[in-house]
Amino acid sequence: MPEIKVTPLGAGQDVGRSCILVSIGGKNIMLDCGMHMGFNDDRRFPDFSYITQNGRLTEFLDCVIISHFHLDHCGALPYMSEMVGYDGPIYMTHPTKAICPILLEDFRKITVDKKGETNFFTSQMIKDSQELCILLETFWERMNLKAPIYFSTGMTEKANHYYKLFITWTNQKIRKTFVQRNMFEFKHIKPFDRSYADNPGPMVVFATPGMLHAGQSLQIFKKWAGNEKNMVIMPGYCVQGTIGHKILNGQRKLELEGRSTLEVKLQVEYMSFSAHADAKGIMQLVSPEQAMKELGLSEHHLRFTCRVQLQDPHSDADTLHRIYMHLKSVLKGYTTQHLPDSMSVMVESIVVKVSSSTEDPNTKVLLLSWSYQDEDLGSFLSTLLKKGLPSVLC
């Protein structure tokens, strides 16, 4: 087996400017070529000296593989091209393919100034913006809230237009809502104008970049930071040196450019809504069927289980029927089946079985199990059933 050598050119001991050089069998592959968003000097870029000492990059490097379109993973590509003359192949990891080719010319169109501002928003950021919009739109509708919600990214507005047009391409849960209405026809969420930041009264604004190091989010933060009634919610990790990192660590007096200072009085909260892939996202990089076939493995079905106790004086069969009626009334967009022969109720892949406690017949033990694809729905059902069954079921 050939020797594998891994050399971190950036992000070896911190987050940001991700850049790892892998040498194997005479081939040299660069994984990521990012910039650090917390610095404004040479520390922003990976250390290319290791490569240039071994000859010109065009002769030394076989290809670059980018994990995703975030500046901390691909932002240094234009600089690498200018500094050391690389014009070789670039590949991008893709949720439905292992890798797909990307033209270097596409990265050269990206303009990044010394402050880290950029003229594009990543596809993953757009996806997250849509998810956040749906969450807030649903909550505003349910709670009958009137405060306006704005998003400040023009690209998100354009993307939302295509989400509305191609809603049949979205996941099953979103498609089911299309029977009643288009989920992306937002009633409470509108595009943001800079003048709105000075409007009186409450509002919610989605603004990028998420680390508050530049752009619209930083401008709004400066305006609102001095009022303790305001709040900023940081949706993910912030690298060291950014304003986001500083306020998450409790810093209340910030030094800005031009030696000016800003006193932070607003509330600071953190809510993990990372754009990075989770376990499911990583598993989707390669087809499970294809991977198992190549490895010669048989498929193994993983299911989660949960036990719930509830008080119900009826027989097991009647309790099961009551559970079926309750879930059917709550989960109108899902397929709910009553299977009396197996003493179970099914919602998608979720199975609910009922049995009486040996100590108390009025205490029912519910066994819930579900596949990982329905993990969120399974957690929701277990929480719902823990609250008990309503006294009257329609």
| Alpha-helical segments (H) within the chain | 49-52, 57-60, 71-74, 77-84, 104-108, 123-143, 154-165, 172-177, 215-224, 243-248, 279-283, 288-295, 316-330, 375-386
Q: Is 155 left (phi over 0), alpha (psi -120 to 50) or beta?
A: alpha
Dist CA 315 CA 355 (whole Å): 9
Neighbour tally for 201: CB within 10 Å: 7
Dist CA 107 CA 46 (whole Å): 17
Per-residue pLDDT of the chain (394 residues; tens, 9 = 90+): 678 889 898 887 777 788 998 888 788 888 888 888 778 777 888 888 777 775 555 567 788 877 766 777 888 888 777 777 777 788 776 444 444 455 444 444 433 333 333 333 333 444 466 677 778 888 888 888 889 988 875 555 666 666 666 666 665 666 665 555 666 678 888 888 889 989 988 999 988 777 888 888 889 999 999 999 999 988 877 888 889 889 999 999 998 877 789 999 999 988 776 655 555 555 555 566 766 776 677 777 778 888 988 888 888 889 999 999 999 888 888 889 998 888 899 998 899 999 888 888 888 899 999 887 788 888 889 889 988 888 766 5
Closest to 367 in 3D by CA, of 295, 296, 300, 316:
316
CB 355 within 8 A of CB 365: yes
Q: Cα 374–380–384 angle (5° rounding)?
A: 140
Dist CA 32 CA 35 (whole Å): 10
Closest to 112 in 3D by CA, of 53, 167, 44:
44
What global pTM score does this model have? 0.49
CB 37 within 8 A of CB 211: yes
**pLDDT at residue 169 in the model:** 60
Mind listing the pLDDT tens digit for each residue in 376-394? 888 889 889 988 888 766 5
CB 9 within 8 A of CB 33: no
CB 347 within 8 A of CB 339: no
Dist CA 256 CA 350 (whole Å): 53
**pLDDT at residue 174 in the model:** 61
CB 156 within 8 A of CB 145: no
The DSSP result for 122-133, as a single string, is -HHHHHHHHHHH
- For tokens 């969450």, what's the residue? 135
**pLDDT at residue 279 in the model:** 57
Cα end-to-end span (Å), the chain: 67
Dist CA 339 CA 353 (whole Å): 10
The DSSP result for 275-290, as a single string, is SS--HHHHHTTS-HHH
Q: Is 201 left (phi over 0), alpha (psi -120 to 50) or beta?
A: left
- Dig out the tokens for 342 from the structure: 């197996």
* Phi, psi at 252, each rounded to 5°: -110, -5
